[in-house]
Amino acid sequence: TYVVTDACIRCKYTDCVEVCPVDCFYEGENMLVINPSECIDCGVCEPECPAEAILPDTESGLENWLELNTRYSAEWPNITQRKDAPADADAMKGVEGKLEKYFS
Ligand code: SF4
Ligand code: F3S
């Protein structure tokens, strides 16, 4: 599966949702997550994200993100249409420590 990581937080460009063939993105207030049991591992969303927030869970160190994506995709609503990014999305791109400060 692919997972969304902290680079998405407060950036939320939503380009990813437009390309997913199985509509498996779910929306929180400040980030999106992927439902790992629905993701078919096609990889087309990865290069679409301007924040490079989407990674395959085969990369090391992503266990916590897999858990977070699994947990919140069960709670948050599905999102299938692109919407405007937050006004300060570009300023939040690449900022460190977003999980601790801004997760929701
Ligand atoms: Fe959707 Fe494919 Fe990305 Fe999985 S890898 S979230 S199926 S676009
Ligand atoms: Fe987030 Fe990137 Fe999608 S910033 S909303 S994972 S395009």
Pocket test for ligand 1, best of 41, 52, 69, 70 (most atoms within 8 A of CB): 41
Beta pairing partners, 55: 3
Question: Predicted ipTM?
Answer: 0.98
Q: What is the pLDDT of residue 83?
A: 97
Q: Is 26 in the pocket of ligand 1 (CB under 6 A)?
A: no
Q: Is 20 in the pocket of ligand 1 (CB under 6 A)?
A: yes
User: What is the DSSP code (8-state) at residue 68?
Assistant: H
Q: Which two tokens stand for residue 77?
A: 């609503």
Q: Model confidence over 35-76: pLDDT tens digits?
A: 999 999 999 999 999 999 999 999 999 999 999 999 999 999
Ligand closest to Cα of 86 equals 2
Other C-beta atoms lying within 10 Å of the C-beta of residue 41:
10
Helix (H) or strand (E) holding 54: strand 54-56
The domains of the chain are located at 2-82
Position 29 pLDDT exceeds 90: yes
Q: Which CATH class is domain 2-82?
A: alpha beta
Q: What is the pLDDT of residue 5?
A: 98
Which residue's alpha carbon is at the smallest distance from atom 7 of ligand 2?
49
Q: Model confidence over 8-17: pLDDT tens digits?
A: 999 999 999 9
